[in-house]
Structure 1
Amino acid sequence: MTNSSRKQAAPCGAWASPITAAVVAAGSTPLSGVLLDGADLFWLAGRASEGGRTTLLRQRGGEVEELTPAPFNARTRVHEYGGGAVLVADGRVWFSNFADNRIYRINPTAGAEPLPVSEGGALRWADFVLDRVHTRLVGVREDHSAGATYPVNTLCALGADGRQLVLDDGYDFYSSPRISPDGKQLAWLCWNHPGMPWEGTELWLADIAADGSLANGRLIAGGPQEAIVQPEWSPGGLLYFVSDRSGWWNLHRYEHGVVHPVCPREAEFGGPHWVFGNSMYGFRTDGEIVCTYIENGVSRLARLDTASGALSPIDNPYQEIRELRVSGDTLVLLAGAPTIAAEVVRIDLASGAREVLARSIEELPAVGYLSVPRTVSYPSMNGRTSHAFYYPPTNADFAPLPGELPPLMVIGHGGPTGMASSTLKLATQFWTSRGIAVLDVNYGGSTGFGRAYRDLLKEQWGVVDVEDCVAGALHMANYELADQGLVDRERLVIRGGSAGGLTTLCALAFHDVFKAGASYYGVSDLKGLDADSHKFESHYNEYLIAPKARADAVYAERSPINHTDKLRRPMIFFQGLDDKVVPPPQSEVMVDALRARGVPVAYLTLEGEGHGFRKADSIVRTLEAELYFYLRVFGIPLPADLPAIEIENLAA
C-alpha cells in the first residue's frame, strides 16, 4: 500500500517495518580513500567478515581487482585516527599495513606479492607522497619507541633502500606533505599542543636541496588562530590551500610571496583534520578546480575558475560528498544522499555520465520506507541559531492515528566537533519507519557552518550542545505556530553514545524537557576522560571544557555523575563490560541513583564489547531493547516478537 489514503492507522512507534534490527546490524561496507592514478580508480573497503580489515580495490578497464588480499590490512594508526594509508602513483601502490606498521609496495602489473619497504614496528607512517627526483617517499612518521609518554612525530623521508631521513621535527604534529610538480619544493602543515588542528595550523614551504634535505624553510600562512587544511600544488606550480582566516574554510593561493583568496564565500571548502588524506578539491587544469563545499550542512559540487573565482555547479544527486579526486575529465567521489547510502562514483566531466563503482549497502529498503530529511534552523539560547536534519515518520503501509502526533527522538552526534549529515543511515530509518520522528542536531561546535559556529563549543561542551538539542526538541514540538507542533511534546526522547551520551545525560539532568533517554557508553565523569587520552586528544578538553588550571572545578560542575539527584526521567543505559574509555562504574553510578529514587531504569551490559558496539548480536539486542523501553514508557502497544527487557520501577 503506497497510497496514503490506503495506509493503516496505527499508534506511532508500533508500525511494522522491514528495517529490522537485524537489517541495521548487517550494516554497510565502510568505504574510504578514493584515489586516482591515470585511468585507474582505487578505493578502500572494510571487510566485516574478515575481522574488519580494510582492503584496497582497483578498477581498471571495467574490472575490479583486490590488491591487498588477506591478511593485509591497509590502515594506519598515526594520530590513532589514521587515514592516508595508501599512495598510488606512476602505476605503483604503497600502503601501510596495520598489523606490523610496515609500508609495502605493490607493482600491480607484475602480479607479485606486496614487498615491505620500511621496518615498521614502533614506527608508524601516514600521508606519504612520492618524491620522484630522489626516488623516495615523504610522509608523516610517528615514533613510539622512545619510551616517552607520547610518541614523537616528524616529517620524514623513506628511501627505496629503507633508509630514513628526518626532514623536519620539533612540532607535536605534522600532516599533508606536498611536493611541487618540478620536485624542487615541499609544503606541509604542522601544529603544537594544546591546539587542535581545527583551531590553528601552520603552512610551511621549503626548498628541497640536492642531497634531499630541506633548505630555506619559511612559514607562509597560518598560526594559532588560523586553521589551514589540504595544501595542493596546481599543475603550473602554484600552491593552493584552504584557510579559515575569513571565518570560513575558503580556498587561497600563495603567489609571489602573497596569499590571495580564490573564492570568498560563506561556505566550507575544507573540513577538520580528524584523519589524513581528506580531499575536497582537485585540479582539472591549471586554471580550473573541481571542488565540493558545504552550505547549511549540505555538500555542493562545482567547477571553480581560478582566475575569476566563479563557481559553476556540477549536476549530481548527492548531499554529502566526503572525498573527491580529479584527473583530467575523470572525477571520483565518495558521496551519499537521503535515499543513497555512501557510494564510490565516477563522473565524466565532459559528458556528465555517472557510474557507481561501489555501494556501502547493496540492497536498500523500498523508498516508501525511507524518510527524507529536511534542513531546519531554529533559535537557541543567547540569540544563536542552531541547525538540524528533521526526519518525519515514514512508512509505506502505516499512518498515525487520527489526531496523533509522533514521538520525537533527538540525536546529538559524537566528536563532539563532528557533523551530522543527511546521507542514508539505516540506524535512523529504523526509528522513522516505526513512526518515531528524528531530529539529528548539528549543535553549536559542529563543523560545516563556519569558524564562529565551530568555536561556540569552546569551553562549552555539555552546555551549548545540550541547549541546542533542547531548543531543537521544543522547536519541533511548537513548530511555527504554538498550536501547530509536528511532534508530541509529551513524548520527546534523547539518545547518544560516548560524547553524545554526555549530551544526553546533561540534557536530562539539567533540563526538564525530554521524557526519556538512552545512553550508550555515555561520558558521565569528565575528569575520567583525561586519564586515557592519546597524544592527539590529550589536550582536547582544554578547548572543550577549560584550561587545566580551572578544569577540576568545571569538570565537577558539568559531570552528570555529580548530579544524579537531578535525574528524574526514565532512562536506559547500554554498557560494554570491556570499555576502557567509559568504564562500567560510570554507568552503574547513574543506574543506582535512578533505581534508589524509584525512577524507571533499565541497564544492559554486553560481554566482550568495549567503547562502541561492533558485534551484530549486540547491535540487534540494544536496538530492540531501546525500542521496547520507549514503547513501555509511553504505553505504546508492543509487537508480539519484540524481546522483553527488565525495566525497574516501571508499573506493569
Structure 2
Amino acid sequence: MPQIAPYGSWTSPISAADVATAGITPQWLDVVDGEPWWVEARPAEGGRVVLVRDGKDVLAPPWNVRNRVHEYGGRPWTHTGDAVVFTHWADQRVYALDPAGGEVRALTPEPGKPHGVRYGDLRPGRPGEVWAVRETSTGERRVDVRRDHVAIPLDGSGPVTLGASHHFLSGPQLSPDGRHAAWLGWEHPAMPWDETELCVAEVGPDGRFGPHRVLAGGPGVSVCQLEWDGPGHLLALLDPEGWWNLHRVALDATAVNLAPVTEELGGPLWRLGARWFAPLGGGRHAVLRSGRLAVLDEATGAVTDVATELTTWSTTIAAYRGGVAGIAAGPRSELAVVYADFAGGGVTELAPPAEPAGLDPAYLPVPEVRTFTTADGEPVPAFLYPPANPDFTGPDGERPPYLVHVHGGPTNRNFPVRDLDFAYFTSRGIGVVAVDYGGSVGYGRRFRERLREQWGVVDVGDCVAVAEQLVAEGVAAPSRLAIRGGSAGGYTSAAAITGTATFAAATVKFPILDLAAWTGEGGETHDFESQYLHSLVGPIERHPGRYRDRSPIHHVDRLDRPVLFLQGLDDEICPPEQADRFIAALTGRGVPHAYLRFPGEQHGFRKATTVIAALEAELSFYGQVFGFDPAGVPVLELSR
C-alpha cells in the first residue's frame, strides 16, 4: 500500500544528478556516407558538445563543436569531400577533420580578440570549400556586428567574402548545377518569424555572388527553411496564409503550396540551420507537423503522421535508409537518436536516451494534453504533469502544490514529452503544468501574434488563467502555486509575481527584468534580439511608459512573496546585471529570497554541477515556502 505523506515530501529515486545525466542532448544530426552523425551536449564534461559518428565519439577533449552566431549558435558542422568541418567553441574558428587519419587543422585565422569573429550554419560549397555565415564584431557594443557570406577553402588559405544582402543571413546553399546560391535574409526590427526573404543570386566564375533577387517572403511572410529541388526550383517553408507550409518556388518567383494545411510544418528560426523537412524523392517529403513526424505526398496533397508514439522531433531530420533519422521523444520516452523505417513501419533507437537505467515508469508522469480558456474565450494549450509516485499518496483532502512552467522565447513552445526535469518534482508530489501561452508557436500566426505589443500582459494572463482553473477543478492547492521559467519565461515569472496575487512563489532563471535597459542599440542584450521588443511591447520611442510599467524591476516594491533567482554569469543574452539590480533593490525589504550565480554558465545551464545545484535549491525553496520537508537535499538559505 502507498504510504500517506504530505505532497512535496515524498522520497524519489530520481535525483538531481539523474536529471543532469539526462541532459546529454543530441542535436544537429545529418547522414554522411550512409551513416548518421550528430553532436551531443554533455553536462558531465562541463557542457562540452561532442561530435558523434554512429554512436562513437569522433573528437576527444578539448574539442567543443559549438559556435556563438546569434549567441544561440548555428549549424556547427558539415561534411564535404573527405573532410568534416566544424566550429570550435573556445576560439570560434573553423577546423577540418580528416576522418581517416584523425588529423585536425585550422581553416580560419585566429579572431584577433575574444569572439571577435564567429562562423555558423556551415554548408558544403563549391568543390574544395565550405560556405558559412560570418559574424564580425565591429565595436564595443553588443549590437556592433557585421554579417556576410564566406567561402572557407579546405586548403587553409583563409575565408573569401562571397557577399551580403541583409543584416541577418542564413548560410548560403549551392544549387545542384553550381550556378546559383540561395539563402534567407531579414532586417531589424523584424525577427525571422515575423518577416524573412528567400534570396537567390548567380555564382560568378570567381565564386562570388552577383546581385540577389527575392523569390518569396517579405512583409508579413516568414520563410524558415529552404532546400534546392533541382537547378531551377527550391523547396521552402513559408506562411503567406498564416501557417508554415511547404512550397515549391521557381527561379521566376512563382510558388505552389504542395499541401495546404492549417497546421505548422515549420517553426521559429532561433538557430541557423534548423531543418523541419527533408526530401525523400518521388514527390514525397518528411515534414514535422507541430513537432510530429509526417510524410507529405505531392501527388495526393496528403500529410500523414508516422511513428506516432514519438510526439516531438528536433528540427534536424535527415533522409536515411528509406525513412528518416532524427532526434525524438514521446510522452513515455526521453529524447533519443532514432530511425523511423517507413517501409517496415517501426522505430529503432540508434542511440539510447540518457536516462537512469532501470527507472520504473511509474515514477514518470505521462503528460495530459489540455486546453484551458481565458476570460475572453481565447484557448490556452497546456501539458499537465500530475504527481506520480507508486510509493506515496497525499493525505485525504490535501491538494498538491503546482508549478506553472513558462517556456522561453517567448516565440517558442512546450511539447508533450517525458521530461526528467519535471519528474524530479512530480515524483516528490509537486505537479507541473507547462503552458503554451498566447505568442507560442505551433498554432499559426494569429495565435503567435496574440502577444504582439502584449508581452507582460497576455503571457501573464494566460498563466494565471491556467493556474486558477486548476484550482477551480480541485487539482491544485490554491495557496501552493508557484511559477517558474528561464529567459523570457523568467521575465513572465517575475512579471507574474510582482503584478498578480495568484502565485505564492516564483523561480526566476536568467531573466529579462528591465525592458528599456535590455533593448535597443545601447541595450544590454545581443544584436539578434536587440529589437525583439519592437513587436513584443511596441517601439520604445512611442511607448516609453509601457517599458516601465511592464518591467518587474520597477515593481520590486510590490513584491511580498518569496523568489529564487538563478543566473549564469557569462550570459550575453540575459546578462547578470539585470538580476543583480533586482536583488539589490529587494535586499533588506523583508521578502524571503535567494540568488545563486553560476560562473562559466551562459544562457541556460550546461554543467552537471550547475544543473544539480539549481534543482536542489529550487526543491528546497518550495519546501520552505509550502511547508514540507524535501528529503535528501541541502537547505537553501533564504535572505530577507
* CA distances 1:104-128 after superposition (whole Å, capped 9, x unpaired): 22332x3240232332524322223
> Which has the higher mean CA deviation after the structures are superposed, 264-273 or 605-614?
605-614
Distance 1:607 1:311 in 2: 45
Counterpart amino acid of residue 153 in structure 1? R
Q: Does 1:66 align with 2:57?
A: yes
* CA distances 1:305-326 after superposition (whole Å, capped 9, x unpaired): 1233212332342111012111
Classify 1:36/1:618 alpha carbon distance in 2 versus 1 (closer, same or farther; 3 Å).
Answer: closer
Choose which of 28, 31, 45 in structure 1 pairs with 2:26: 31
SS in 1 for 2:170: strand
Residue equivalent to 1:290? 286
Distance 1:316 1:37 in 2: 26
Choose which of 198, 216, 222 in structure 2 pairs with 1:227: 222
Q: Which has the larger radius of gyration?
A: 1
* CA distances 1:69-111 after superposition (whole Å, capped 9, x unpaired): 2222222212221121111245532112223333222332x32
Residue equivalent to 2:505? 516
Residue equivalent to 1:106? 97
Residue equivalent to 2:482? 493
> Which has the higher mean CA deviation after the structures are superposed, 301-310 or 562-571?
562-571
Residue equivalent to 2:169? 174
Residue equivalent to 1:150? 144
Aligned-residue offset at 1:301: 1.6
Residue equivalent to 1:482? none
Q: What TM-score results when the alignment is normalised by the length of structure 2? A: 0.91
Task: Structure 2 unaligned segments of length 5 or more: list them.
Answer: none
Q: Matches of residues 304-323 of structure 1 in structure 2 within 5 Å?
A: 304-322=296-314, 323=316
Distance 2:568 2:96 in 1: 38
Distance 1:204 1:244 in 2: 16
Distance 2:326 2:265 in 1: 15
Distance 1:240 1:521 in 2: 37
For the aligned residue pairs, the C-alpha RMSD in angstroms reads 2.5
Classify 1:198/1:648 alpha carbon distance in 2 versus 1 (closer, same or farther; 3 Å).
Answer: same
Residue equivalent to 2:255? 259
Q: Matches of residues 80-119 of structure 1 in structure 2 within 5 Å?
A: 80-108=71-99, 110-119=100-109
Classify 1:402/1:549 alpha carbon distance in 2 versus 1 (closer, same or farther; 3 Å).
Answer: same
> Which has the higher mean CA deviation after the structures are superposed, 615-624 or 429-438?
615-624
- Number of aligned pairs? 624
Distance 1:21 1:216 in 2: 54
Distance 1:505 1:220 in 2: 42
> Which has the higher mean CA deviation after the structures are superposed, 577-586 or 464-473?
577-586
SS in 1 for 2:89: coil
Q: Matches of residues 360-371 of structure 1 in structure 2 within 5 Å?
A: 360-364=353-357, 365-371=359-365
> Which has the higher mean CA deviation after the structures are superposed, 136-145 or 614-623?
614-623
Aligned-residue offset at 1:141: 1.8
Classify 1:587/1:520 alpha carbon distance in 2 versus 1 (closer, same or farther; 3 Å).
Answer: farther
CA contact (8 A) 1:234 1:286 kept: no
* CA distances 1:152-189 after superposition (whole Å, capped 9, x unpaired): 11122233443544333241011042222222222111
> Which has the higher mean CA deviation after the structures are superposed, 621-630 or 416-425?
621-630
CA contact (8 A) 1:37 1:89 kept: no
Residue equivalent to 2:518? 529
SS in 1 for 2:453: coil
Higher relative contact order (CA 8 A, sep 6+): 2
Classify 1:251/1:402 alpha carbon distance in 2 versus 1 (closer, same or farther; 3 Å).
Answer: same
Distance 1:179 1:248 in 2: 27
Aligned-residue offset at 1:267: 1.3
Counterpart amino acid of residue 13 in structure 2? P
CA contact (8 A) 1:575 1:587 kept: no
Choose which of 465, 468, 471 in structure 1 pairs with 2:462: 468
Counterpart amino acid of residue 387 in structure 1? P
Classify 1:558/1:147 alpha carbon distance in 2 versus 1 (closer, same or farther; 3 Å).
Answer: closer
SS in 2 for 1:535: coil
Q: Does 1:543 align with 2:535?
A: yes
Residue equivalent to 1:449? 443
Classify 1:594/1:431 alpha carbon distance in 2 versus 1 (closer, same or farther; 3 Å).
Answer: farther
Q: Matches of residues 123-522 of structure 1 in structure 2 within 5 Å?
A: 123-132=117-126, 134-144=127-137, 150-161=144-155, 162=157, 164-215=159-210, 217-234=212-229, 238-255=233-250, 257-294=253-290, 299-322=291-314, 323-327=316-320, 329-364=322-357, 365-479=359-473, 485-522=474-511
Classify 1:328/1:220 alpha carbon distance in 2 versus 1 (closer, same or farther; 3 Å).
Answer: farther
SS in 2 for 1:502: helix
Aligned-residue offset at 1:363: 2.3
Classify 1:545/1:589 alpha carbon distance in 2 versus 1 (closer, same or farther; 3 Å).
Answer: farther
CA contact (8 A) 1:103 1:120 kept: no
> Which has the higher mean CA deviation after the structures are superposed, 310-319 or 619-628?
619-628
Counterpart amino acid of residue 9 in structure 2? A
Classify 1:211/1:632 alpha carbon distance in 2 versus 1 (closer, same or farther; 3 Å).
Answer: closer
Counterpart amino acid of residue 223 in structure 2? I
Distance 1:246 1:448 in 2: 14
